[in-house]
Amino acid sequence: MNIIRKITGSHSDKDENFVLAIKNILGFKPKNINHYKEAFTHSSLKQTNSNGVVINYERLEFLGDAVLGSIIANYLFIKIPKGDEGYLTQMRSKIVSRKHLNELGKDLGLINFVKSSISNQNFGDNIHGNLFEALIGAIHLDKGYVFTEKFIYKNVIEPYVDIERLEGKITSYKSVLFEWIQKKKKKIKYNVYEDTGNDSLKHFSVKLFIDNELLSKGRATSKKKAEEIASKRAYYKLQNHIENKLAL
């Protein structure tokens, strides 16, 4: 996006270009640009206001997460009148999964706006979803709930939410694997160890055993993500057995 590359020069020029860039993403001109500045301020800068209150996107991320969840819950409640609590909760989890939010943040190019003392290349994938949630929080503070709802309908629900497709989508291969393991009365074990190698970021590797047999491996920047990768690989190795057993 050319307008992002133009954010240089004087402080006023930066502000003007930032407002234009945000307007281009949101489709409207912000009323209070400070909310959006905070939404893209990383904690590594250790910024505080005149009262000593820390300024970064984490509080807005918390707010955005709650507002997004509320709007999605309301949509599902109306869209699926026969859905019970468990089903609606599952569907909401699929829509607001970390993977999906990361994709939304990437599609909007939000990382280009981050102010940080850390290089963008050193951020994990979750930075994209975190920024998306912080942006939702900023919109909510700036324009209110109804306006935020319109933004989410336009950018999340209308282009991405397909109920039938989501019904068959697996959000946690580890959970599916554990359900199958319990029904089959097998034993599962994840051996996790640090495996940084030549990478600048810390990595973890996982070996997944079922009944003491090594079935799959995974490697990622967090233990949880490495376990999920190993679980996904194990799932596809056992897919026919798992689907037949769970369907009974």
Which CATH number belongs to the domain containing residue 228 in this structure? Answer: 3.30.160.20
Q: Which of 38, 61, 65, 227 is catalytic?
A: 65
Q: Could you list the residue range(s) of the whole structural domain that residue 215 is in?
A: 173-246
State how far the Cα of 221 lies from the Cα of 193, in Å rounded to an integer: 12
Residues 120 and 100 in one domain: yes
Residue 149 appears among annotated catalytic residues: no
Task: Give the active site residue among 133, 142, 227, 228.
Answer: 133
Residues 30 and 122 in one domain: yes
Q: How many of the other CB atoms lie within 10 Å of CB of 156?
A: 21
Picking from 132, 167, 202, the residue at the C-terminal end of a domain is 167
CA 132 to chain centre: 8
Boundary of a domain, candidates 167, 184, 215: 167
Q: Are residues 119 and 232 in the same domain?
A: no
65 flagged as catalytic: yes
What is the rounded distance in angstroms from the CA atom of residue 237 to the CA atom of residue 140?
44
Please state, for a pLDDT cut of 70, what percent of the chain lies above it.
Answer: 89
**pLDDT of 123-181, one tens digit each?**
888 999 999 999 999 999 999 999 999 999 999 999 888 887 777 667 778 888 888 89
Sign of CA dihedral 39, 44, 47, 48: positive
Looking at 139, 167, 195, the residue that finishes a domain is 167
Average pLDDT over residues 41-45: 91
Give the predicted TM-score (pTM) of the model.
Answer: 0.66
**Domain count across the chain:** 2
Do 146 and 39 fall within a single domain?
yes
